[in-house]
């Protein structure tokens, strides 16, 4: 459930836009997040980072530099191997959403 005038960041790699009906009461940013993650990070495991970046691009409640710092702080063990690819995925989602918002 999303409040009126709320934001939905939708992964159109998984959701068919034609079947997603809304009456215009919310803002929807469509991002092909799974494809972007595979292209940028080489794995769909970075889809969440693309989506997080897209959310920040549409609703900048946290500075991207702060998000990066937190990722760097908590990237340990096997997570450290994906760190730079996750940051690239974050920025790709951010850029894509900012472009989508600017176009509306």
Per-domain boundaries in the chain? 33-103
> Could you report the per-residue pLDDT of 11-25, keeping only the tens digit for each?
999 988 887 776 678
Q: Is the pLDDT of residue 101 over 80?
A: yes
The reported pLDDT for the residue numbered 5 is: 87
Residues 86-100 have a mean pLDDT of 95
State how far the Cα of 12 lies from the Cα of 72, in Å rounded to an integer. 28
Cα end-to-end distance, the chain, whole Å = 23
Residues 31-45 have a mean pLDDT of 95
Strand partners, 30: 10
State how far the Cα of 14 lies from the Cα of 2, in Å rounded to an integer. 19
> Could you report the per-residue pLDDT of 41-64, keeping only the tens digit for each?
999 999 999 999 999 999 999 999
Residue indicated by tokens 């997040």: 33
4 alpha carbon, distance to own chain's centre: 21
Question: What six digits make up the tokens of 29?
Answer: 């940013």
């Amino acid at each position: 459930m999303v409040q009126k005038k709320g934001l939905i960041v939708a992964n159109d790699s998984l959701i068919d836009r034609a079947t997603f009906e809304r009456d215009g009461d919310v803002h929807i940013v469509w991002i092909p997040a799974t494809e972007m993650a595979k292209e940028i990070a080489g794995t769909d495991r970075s889809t969440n980072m693309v989506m997080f970046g897209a959310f920040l691009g549409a609703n900048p409640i946290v500075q991207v530099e702060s998000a990066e710092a937190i990722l760097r702080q908590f990237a340990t063990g096997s997570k450290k191997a994906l760190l730079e690819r996750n940051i690239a995925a974050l920025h790709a989602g951010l850029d894509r959403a900012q472009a989508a918002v600017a176009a509306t």
